Amino acid sequence: MASQERILKNYESAKEEFASWGVDTEKVLEKFDTIKMSMHCWQGDDVKGFEPVGDIGSQNVVTGNYPGAARNGEELRGDIDFALSMSPFQHKVNIHSCYGEFGRDRKDVTIDDFSKWIAWAKEKGYGLDFNGSFFAHKMMNNGFSYASLDKATRDYWIETAKGTREISYAIGKELGEVCYNNLWIPDGLKDTPANRFRYREVLTNALDEIFAKKYEGNHHVDTLEGKLFGIGVESFTVGSHEFYLGYAASHRGNGIGVCLDSGHYHPTEQVADKLSAVTPFVDHVLLHISRGVRWDSDHIVVQSDELTAIMNEMSRGNLYGKVAMGLDYFDASINRIAAWTIGMRAAAKTVLTSLLEPFAMIDKAELEGDFTTRLALMDEFKNLP
Ligand code: RNT
Ligand code: ZN
């Protein structure tokens, strides 16, 4: 049978199957078509960016030497276009401040340095998200940026962070939508600190300076991304989850949210469990969808129980469209376009599965105290088409 015909035939049979569980697949497909995924540009060139920074070690450890990394904006955008042509989502593209195209230092970049990205996004109908690149630079001071105890280091990075907010706001306005500006810093220590309080006080003051300016309208959102640990900073990360969650919650009403990266927690800790705990108390939540493997937080996303749990929670809590989603990983050991495509399609299949879950039935069983039925149904649903 021709494949198109076979797909349609299978769809008709799946439609019947889901209808018998009370799920309307046509409505699910309509809903799916509204869901946005932000694809991270940095998988395409191993988080290098376009600044002439020289041979400086990065706090994002990328391994592998597969040929064909993008060398400039033209190549990177072409590769992104090709990857997105194989993804069924509505698309945003997530860029970093080290991807400005005129070779200026990231403290000095302005919206002009991203004019090619913006023109391209407009032409293709993509949204854009933004990130400050606070790593892999000569101004990193023993791995510290704006949580550094050294004022000159801190001031450099605070100015850089302020600049990213200007650019993010300008991008959002230019594209007539919301640009998420995510802040992640690697700042931390290899061994046990004597005074954690000092570092966190310094970071609090830096954030206060960075966020002093308020932006009007709905074009710009700030999110703070915490992390458990990184290579070389095994004992202490200044910007931990509790720290940022506390900061964002205590600044409610200022458009400051948190970014939950699924690779940034203890291996048995579940981002799925955090959504209902965090969303009521902060202005915004962004998901970085990643895959942790042992000590690495950034393997290519594939379908997994963990991802299913996250997306089921998004669907059950009606969070699609409210909690923003982006991919975040980097692997230089396989074809980079395939790396993006595999991740986007894995995320898409998992989102679709979550929308197809006969949630009303398990919710009813739970409400009636029938936990036996709840478990039986949850396991049964794993075999739906
Ligand atoms: C690193 C964070 C961060 C980066 C990107 C490149 O652990 O997850 O989001 O991956 O900013
Ligand atoms: Zn991340």
Q: What is the pLDDT of residue 326?
A: 98
Q: What is the pLDDT of residue 217?
A: 86
Going from the Cα of 226 to the center of ligand 2, the distance in angstroms, rounded, reads 9
Q: What is the DSSP string of 231-249?
A: TTB-SEESS-HHHHHHHHH
Q: What is the pLDDT of residue 55?
A: 73
Going from the Cα of 170 to the center of ligand 2, the distance in angstroms, rounded, reads 23
Q: What is the pLDDT of residue 213?
A: 98
Q: What is the pLDDT of residue 1?
A: 67
Q: What is the pLDDT of residue 101?
A: 96
Q: What is the pLDDT of residue 93?
A: 99
Q: Which residue in the list 51, 174, 187, 328 is annotated as catalytic? A: 328
Closest CA to 174 of 106, 101, 122: 122
Residue 227 a catalytic site member: yes
Probe target for ligand 1 pocket from 39, 95, 97, 298, with the most ligand atoms within 8 Å of CB:
298
Tell how strand 220-225 and strand 179-183 pair up. parallel
Ligand 1 touching residue 331 (CB < 6 A): no
Sites in the chain below the pLDDT cut of 70:
1
CB-based contacts of 100: which residues, under 8 Å, 6+ apart? Answer: 50, 51, 106, 109, 113, 114
CB-based contacts of 10: which residues, under 8 Å, 6+ apart? Answer: 385
Other CB atoms within 10 A of residue 246 CB: 15
Instruction: Quote helix, strand, coil % in the chain, to nearest 5.
Output: 45, 15, 40
Spatial separation of the C-alpha atoms in residues 239 and 222, rounded to whole Å: 15
